[in-house]
Amino acid sequence: MKKKIEILAPAKNLIQGMAAINSGADALYIGAPQFGARTNAQNSIEDIEALVKYAHLFKGQVYVVVNTILYDNELETCRKLIWELYEIGVDALIIQDMGIMEMDLPPIVLHASTQANNRDADKIKFLADAGIKRVVLARELNLHQIKEISTASDVELEFFVTGALCVSFSGNCYMSVANGERSANRGSCAQNCRLPYNLIDGNGDTLIKNSHLLSIKDFDVSDQLPELIEAGVTSFKIEGRLKDIVYVKNNVAFLRNNLDAFLNGNEKYTKASSGKCTYAFDSALNKSFNRGYTDYFLNERKSTIGSWESPKSKGQYIGKLIKTIGNAYEIENGNLLNNGDGLFFINENNEADGIYVNSVENRMAYPNVLKEIAPGTEIYRNNDAAFIKIVEREDSAVRKINTTLLLTENESGFELVATDEDGYISKVNLVHPKERTKNNQPIEDNIRVQLAKTGFTPYTANQITIQFSENWFLPISKINEMRRTVYEQLSEIRISSYKRVERQTKKTSHPYPVSELDFTYNVSNSLARKFYERHGVTQIEKAFELQWDPGKSRVMTTKYCIKYELGKCPKYHKDTRDSTLKEPLVLKQGELEYKLKFNCKPCEMEIWEKDAEFEIEEETY
């Protein structure tokens, strides 16, 4: 049997979830009324139920994120919510808090969120043995590490493939809560990483002013889907539950086209849902929100990944400014621009800037405000007005399930049989007198035309067979009625026949790979503590949110490294050893101040609050 490969799309709400399905998603992840890591992307039980039915029509799946850490007074509310989600047909839950594993749960599949420290093969195998069916891998992993994890366990592997990157190890960023009591692990990240900072060295000298030093490019490894599949990944996840519908449709369509090109005729792998998509637009990742792209560390550390100029969308590169003439700009490839486009550029103060294009004539862009832009400045389009207008249309992405129709006669009249691509069958009988057509003329072609009008249904009739013993007459109204009914029944059959995979969580006691847990394990309730203790953990530190030491705490650990970005890494830039930086390096933004600690052996950077004390590691490379 071929292994199913899945495109997993974000659903901010019901409308965007349906649009993602129509654009080619095999599965969706969506927030519930509570306990999702995006408080601005919550949804009612009723909307999730409607989305489940729509997805199941195409054999798609719906996963609900219940991935915040929980406090003791929330455990029972969370348990009741999980039962509600199970009862409306949700396929799986994405969780971070191991307290959920201790609850009285329905037999619902559990996925471990990327916030659950999914970086090590031994810990992932532990989760699999504890009953987790899938893990969402950390984005910092490289192909070799993913293969190692896949070899160690038969757990399903999900991996982000496009979208924004969290600069911190997921689940281990505490900048937001330490500086404003908005916990990222509780769904309220303040995105301190996207702020501008000054970089100050150990002598007190300012090395860089007002730059977004923790902001990194967006993720794109869509050109490496075959390599990731061979490494063991079966689900490709698009980041973006807060993004707009154009972003979702564009990203899903782009991945669908790329993945189908690989799957077409493949003997080992197949797509995970039904139906074929057609598009009124040409998808391209750079046409919707992006900060520029990086493959992060998938192929090891090779290039800089910072997006220091701005955390805003750069969009699609158009060309360089040739010159300003009167009240217009002459731009390379200016013929690509449209009235209403938004343009992005870095001005002479090294700041992100932009204009809107009122009109375009002969490669000349006439802006809403004429700004001084130096010749040679790179111009990007981050608001493609014509593209957005097309993609926003409801019919810009259409998904259809292939069917064959067979119209035959019987004793009481006629029978129409629809058989879909998955083998589901719907039959409709019409009691109607059999009368020959006028002059006994054949009208089979006319009947085919009517039967082919599948319109706004999720079906297409790609083969229509009519088997009559005579040239029987059928009124158009009756043909249309049979077609409507047979497809309505087929939808009901598909949804009612959908078989959800179920798995009952059982209490296990196999040893956890380590016996001591620090605050980065985010243990915030008695059930999570009980879970780890039963698996042999002897020391458990409380979650950061319950015990941080103001001004002295480590608020982030990351594979991203400012030394590397500056070309001063003692491992990768050995020729710069004579111009090393005086430490500790400090990030300062208003009253916010952080010290940077570099752990060169594991190739990681830590961010500490200003009053923290630590030893500076000697450079050993």
Same domain for 104 and 130?
A: yes
Q: What is the CATH number of the domain that holds 359?
A: 2.40.10
Q: Does one domain contain both 93 and 224? A: yes
**Total structural domains in the chain?**
3
Distances (CA, A) of 489 to 402, 448, 480, 508: 15, 20, 14, 44
DSSP 350: S
Q: Are residues 36 and 135 in the same domain?
A: yes
pLDDT at position 251: 98
Write down which residue in 326, 360, 392 finishes a domain. 392
243 and 124 assigned to the same domain: yes
* Residues 368, 428 within the same domain: no
Q: How many CB atoms within 10 Å of residue 338?
A: 17
| pLDDT for res 286 | 96
Element (H, E) at 451: helix 444-451
**What is the pLDDT at residue 38?**
86
Q: Do residue 376 and residue 424 come from a single domain?
A: no
Tokens of 37: 């890591």
pTM: 0.95
CA–CA separation, 367 and 327 (whole Å) = 8
Tokens of 450: 């009517």
Whether residue 150 contacts residue 127, with contact meaning beta carbons closer than 8 Å, is answered with no
Range of the domain at 349: 312-392
Alpha carbon distance 27, 270 (integer Å)? 14
249 and 136 co-located in one domain = yes
CB under 8 A, 24+ apart: contacts of 562-571: 562/199, 562/213, 562/596, 562/605, 563/598, 563/605, 564/301, 564/304, 565/304, 565/305, 565/306, 565/308, 569/600, 570/600, 570/619, 570/620, 570/621, 571/600, 571/603, 571/621
Domain for residue 42, yes or no? yes
Is residue 277 within 8 Å of residue 399, measured between CB atoms? yes
Judge if 123 and 43 occupy the same domain: yes
Tokens read off for 235: 């689900």
- How many C-beta atoms lie closer than 10 Å to residue 50's C-beta? 16
18 and 87, same domain (yes or no): yes
Indicate whether 450 belongs to any domain.
yes
Residue 266 lies in a domain: yes
Distances (CA, A) of 16 to 30, 60, 87, 239, 276: 10, 15, 23, 14, 19
Peptide linkage before 584 cis (omega within 30 of 0):
yes
Question: Could you tell me if residue 557 is inside a domain?
Answer: no
Secondary structure of 105-165 in the HEC alphabet? CCCCEEEECHHHCCCCHHHHHHHHHCCCCEEECCCCCCHHHHHHHHHHCCCEEEEEEEECC
**Cβ neighbour number for residue 490 with a 10 Å cutoff:** 24
Q: Within this chain, do residues 352 and 417 fall inside the same structural domain, yes or no?
A: no
- Using the 3D structure, point to which of 360, 392, 424 is the last residue of a domain: 392
Q: What is the pLDDT of residue 271?
A: 97
CB-based burial label for 151 (10 Å; 0-12, 13-18, 19+): exposed
Neighbours of 482 (CB within 10 A): 24
pLDDT of residue 618: 66
Instruction: Give the separation between CA 92 and CA 86, rounded to whole angstroms.
Output: 8
The verdict on residue 510 lying in a domain is: no
| 519 belongs to a structural domain | no
Asked if residue 547 is part of any domain, the answer here is no
For residue 120, the domain's CATH number is 3.20.20.60
344 and 408 share a domain? no
Torsion of CA 379, 384, 386, 389, to 10 degrees: -170
| Residue 385 and residue 411 in one domain | no
Residue keyed to tokens 């399905």: 21
For helices 14-23 and 245-263, what crossing angle results, to 10°?
30
Q: Please state, in angstroms and rounded to a whole number, the distance separating the CA atoms of residues 49 and 84.
A: 10
3-state SS class at 444 = helix
Low-confidence ranges of the chain (pLDDT < 50): 621
Joined together, the tokens standing for residue 346 give 């870095």
CA–CA dist 307, 212 (Å, integer): 7
Tokens of 198: 């000054």
Is 585 inside a domain boundary? no
Residue ranges of E strands in 149-272: 156-163, 197-200, 206-211, 218-220, 235-238, 269-271
Residue 155 has a pLDDT of 98
